Amino acid sequence: MTAPPDDCLARNEWICGAYLSTRRHILLDAVLQHLRLSGLSVLIGLLLAVPLALLARRLRWTAGPVLALTTVLYTIPSLAMFSLLLPLYGLSATLVVAGLALYSLTLLVRNILAGLRAVPEETRQAARGLGYGPVRTLLTVELPLAVPAAMAGLRIAAVSAISLVTVGAIVGYGGLGNLIYAGMNTYFKAQVLTASVLCVVIAVAADLLLLGVQRLLTPWTREGRT
């Protein structure tokens, strides 16, 4: 008679240390791809969101169209978004990054614009009274005061991107989503659970990191609480 397997991989258990030890390089590659895709998408989204928010702040009539457009983009299902972008980027990592960057625009534009609008008019007038020009006022007064609202949007956008990267598995560029998708197809329990847990860990770590950055950029908020 054959003895029952004492290997958690052979028993296909959900929690399996042998999976971690034997698939370290696979997990590392998936984590790095996950971080690269989500990080690039949020960065590109931020680079697009800042000028759009500034445009909506300076030319108030553009606020409605800008917010409406970004909201419409956010309502498009992820599979449909990738399909619409497929003719432009093909089955590539760029396809995933572009789609996630467009998704992040809604959260980023709205929060940056809300932060700029929340700057008291008296503060702007005081800056102008000190001889600050429009650019200097923007860089040294308005944007710093808008940081808390902007960072709130950035944190949500980052966590959303980290979760949505997994959908990129349909085109072969999903980071940990590739492992989740393959594990579900083969009912490989340890792979599905490990990759899912790592997604959660990355999302929580990113949120905490951005929260720390926000506290460093806004020391006056800490002083107000003490």
Domain ranges of the chain: 17-219
CA 101/CA 41 separation, integer angstroms: 4
Residue 199's pLDDT band, with cuts at 50, 70 and 90, is very high
Write down the pLDDT at residue 225. Answer: 56
- pTM for the model: 0.83
User: What would the DSSP string read from start to end of 10-52?
Assistant: TTT-SS-HHHHHHSHHHHHHHHHHHHHHHHHHHHHHHHHHHHH
Write down the pLDDT at residue 15. Answer: 80
Give tens-digit pLDDT for 157-197.
999 999 889 888 888 888 888 888 888 888 888 888 888 99
CB 113 within 8 A of CB 142: no
Between helix 176-186 and helix 189-217 the angle, nearest 10°, is 160
Q: What percent of the chain has pLDDT over 90?
A: 22
A 10 A CB-CB count for 189 gives 19
CA 207/CA 212 separation, integer angstroms: 9
Distances (CA, A) of 150 to 86, 105, 194, 214, 216: 31, 12, 32, 9, 14
The 3 state secondary structure assigned to 158-213 is HHHHHHHHHHHHHHCCCCHHHHHHHHHHHCCHHHHHHHHHHHHHHHHHHHHHHHHH
Question: Which residue type does 28 have?
Answer: L
| Short-list 70, 58, 60, 142, CA closest to 110 | 70
Write down the pLDDT at residue 1. Answer: 41
CA 125/CA 159 separation, integer angstroms: 37
Give tens-digit pLDDT for 62-115.
888 888 888 888 888 888 888 888 888 888 888 999 999 998 888 899 898 888
CA 50/CA 56 separation, integer angstroms: 10
Residue 222's pLDDT band, with cuts at 50, 70 and 90, is low
Domain 17-219 has CATH 1.10.620.20: no
Distances (CA, A) of 59 to 32, 64, 73, 90: 40, 10, 22, 36
Per DSSP, the three-state class of 102 is: helix
Say which residues have a Cβ less than 8 Å from residue 84's Cβ, sequence separation at least 6: 76
